[in-house]
Amino acid sequence: MSHEPPAAILMYDGDRPALRERAERLRPIIEAALPVVGVENDLDPPFEPNGAEIAIAMGGDGTVLRSARLMAHAQLPLVGVNLGKLGFLAGINPEELDVALPEIAARRYRLVDHLMIECELVRDGSVVAGRLGLNEAAILAGEPFAMIEVNLRIDGDLAATYSSDGMLISTPVGSTAHNLATGGPSLRKDLHALVVSAINPHTLTVRPVVDSADRVYELTVPTPNPGTTLNVDGQTVDRLLPGDTVRVRRSDADFQTVEVAGQTYYKTLREKLGWGRRPRDRA
């Protein structure tokens, strides 16, 4: 094991002036602790790691998602520095860098694996679009905002038919995003499972389903609305046509986070989402 500090590549959205300014103010602080071998400030392909061992994403959770999408199947362990609001994925605040950076430089950190998903849009038996996702694959009903019917098959077996405003297949990382807002469960980030949840289902008996990440999930929309779309991690992939199927499976790529002492999943839930706190504690 090397005793040298890990080389880092910095990632942030340079198209947002306020974010770019804050990220550039932090750069000398990072460079004082770690060798910085590159900067990705547009977050658009291609990705050139330049020999980096870790990536440092500065921004909000959206920056982390874009960084993961940029690295695609060449994922580097990522340190998320929160320059946004919630910062659930970007777990280190700027004022914590003076403690976190020496730990990272000394390699006193742990790597936590998080599964990613491959999402394919299948039309007439052929894959017409595909995306790598960290959070979720979503089918959104769209205009004219009538409910759609969606058939769910798991490993080819018909599991259920939903009437709803859309469907989500979420990773454990994504379980605290749109899935949580729909009433779905939150999963530990290191679990090998996916959550299937309906958005505003018409039937009271419909509940989210948690199943193995090693299965193949297929969502077919017999009659989509004109505005029905497939979205992956908040980005529109394509409009759905009648009979289109969205196929979701576990990716060979794993997203990794760098965590130092003091960072835990339940601490993040408590501090970022107010999980398990009484109303008087919030006050």
Which positions are catalytic? 61
Half-sphere exposure of 251 (CA within 13 A, CB side): 26
d(C-alpha 71, C-alpha 49), whole Å: 9
Helices (H), 155-228: 178-181
Return the beta strands (E) in the chain as ranges: 8-11, 36-40, 54-59, 78-82, 110-123, 126-133, 136-140, 148-154, 157-164, 166-170, 193-198, 209-212, 217-220, 229-232, 235-239, 245-259
Dist. CA 177–CA 189, nearest whole Å: 12
Three-state DSSP at 207 gives coil
**Tokens 């694959």 sit on residue:** 137
Close Cβ partners of 202 (under 8 Å, ≥ 6 residues apart): 147, 163, 164
